[in-house]
Chains A and B, each alone.
Chain A
Amino acid sequence: MKKLSVFLALVLLLLAGCGTGSASSPPAPDGADRYLTQPVPEGKPAPVEPGQVEITDTAYTCTLSISCVSILEHPELLVKEKQSLVPGDGWLLKPTVVTFYEGESVFDVLLRTCKQQRLHMEFEDTPIYNSAYIEGIGNLYEFDCGDLSGWMYKVNDWFPNYGCSRYTLKQGDVVCWEYTCDLGRDINGYIREMR
């Protein structure tokens, strides 16, 4: 009986812990918005929450490219089974002009293009950042080329400090998806505020 009550108490404690954990969100750092995004630099577009923006039928074009050229500099870090996946010039998708519709995000364009090109891409929705997180493109996944590796994106040579589902595209934008082996330092995309 005593053991049972101790067990029950433990279960209750655990439940209580889970309850408080999910109810109160962690306090946001100074100046960050509710999705933990630091203020956007002057002149750069602010994040737009997906679902709150209307997607119309007006078609625009942008340039999309997917590159893993940074792996070519660290081939020894790459998982053995995936060596054959890296193209010789590092381009998984050379700069391509693609059509998108007004209000669509970088993620929407990437998803559609990958489906059209039959290029493998896996993502995961992360509610805390209100955005999709790109885990892998072309079977090259985060952490496949060292502990600091993964996919980043830049639009018009700027690495946004928020997720790709929150970046609404404009006519003529140049979107590059780049694989980093060092938290973005090797592709000039290191974001100091994001730790």
Chain B
Amino acid sequence: MAQRDSFSGCHPGLNMLYFAAVLAVTILCAHPVTLAISFGTAGAYCVQLYGWGGFGRRCLWLVPMMAMAALINPLFSHEGATILTYLPSGNPLTLESILYGLAAAVILGAAVLWFGCMTAVLTTDKFVWLFGRLLPALSLLLSMTLRFVPRLVRQFGQVRQAQQCVGRDISRGSVLRRVGSAVTILSITLTWALENAIETADSMNSRGYGLPGRTAFSIYRFDKRDVLVLAWLLLCCGCVAAGWMSGGLAWAYYPVLQGDQAVLVQAAVLALFLTPVILNVREECVWKRLRSEI
């Protein structure tokens, strides 16, 4: 994490509420202005959470993926009133299908970025705390599976470094030798994973997992700032929902671009989406002011 995130310190319920609302609007609403807001704020929050480097690394594979999604639509969908030219097959290439492809790509990119932010903010302990009462088995399973891949990758790196020290390097030697070292490393990692699973199960057993009457440890308190943030989120969500219901976010790409241009609803969307960014900026301002007073 590039810097401390203020929104991560809020109550997990607020984090959950925020991401549920943001993802719902991003995925279900096709209004181009909303999509632009969603993508922009997702990028801004991603930069705050992971720094420019982390954001750039994400974009390295996200941008080609989005480009592919944008290209595929006009190849298969030929609906739309503005005919630009004709494809070799004889079907028309329309402006609307290109724009719809772009919108789909932005939805995809924004959703991926939002999920990236969500994994950083809504950590597994918060997740288990949120759903531990409701769906204990499922939340445990989810938190363990979500943790599994990063853990395996980290362990793989450690084993690789250790093997490098004893001369079994996967970046040196003949191809056969390199493959041999890689297989050894993989085998060690997998063995570790199996053994680790048994140890985890033993550890959970000995701590009384599944026994009745257990309580969960939690350090989450709903403080005064959380009340303010909750009120703000509810206000924004209410405005967005009301605007959405009354058709303020309606948009159609086919046969011609048409839809509402409700500035107020989009402002509410922007306010909702920017909540964590605003919190971070505000915290930084307060910090700078306090430091200058010392």
Question: Interface residues, chain A, CB within 8 Å of chain B?
Answer: 81-82, 85, 111, 115, 118, 120-123, 136, 139, 141
Contacts and interface: CB of A to CB of B under 8 A. Distances in A.
Nearest to A141: B79
B83 A118 contact: yes
A122 B91 contact: yes
A136 B91 CA distance: 11
A180 to B, nearest CB: 19
With most chain B CB atoms within 10 A of its CB, the pick from A81, A85, A111, A136 is A81
B81 interface: yes
Contact of B80 (A115, A118, A120, A123): A120
Interface stretch (B101-109, B238-246, B250-258): B250-258
Interface in B244-294: 252, 254-255, 258
Contact of B79 (A111, A118, A123, A136): A136
Contacts of A123: 90-91
A110 to B, nearest CB: 10
Contact of B92 (A81, A82, A85, A122): A122
B90 A120 contact: no
B178 interface: no
Contacts of A121: 92
Contacts of B86: 115
A109 to B, nearest CB: 13
Contacts of A115: 86
A139 B78 CA distance: 9
Name the prevailing secondary structure of the B interface residues. loop
A115 to B, nearest CB: 6
Name the prevailing secondary structure of the A interface residues. mixed
Q: Report the interface size class on chain B.
A: 10 to 19
Given A81-B258, A111-B90, A120 B252 contact: no
Interface of B: 78-81, 83, 86, 90-92, 94, 252, 254-255, 258
A141 B96 CA distance: 15
A82 B255 contact: yes
Nearest to B253: A81
A135 B90 CA distance: 13
Nearest to A122: B78
A120 B80 CA distance: 8
A139 B80 contact: yes
A120 B254 contact: no
B83 A120 contact: yes
30 contacts: A81-B252, A81-B254, A81-B255, A81-B258, A82-B255, A85-B81, A111-B90, A115-B86, A118-B83, A120-B78, A120-B79, A120-B80, A120-B81, A120-B83, A120-B92, A120-B94, A121-B92, A122-B78, A122-B79, A122-B91, A122-B92, A123-B90, A123-B91, A136-B79, A139-B79, A139-B80, A139-B81, A139-B254, A139-B255, A141-B79
Contacts of B90: 111, 123
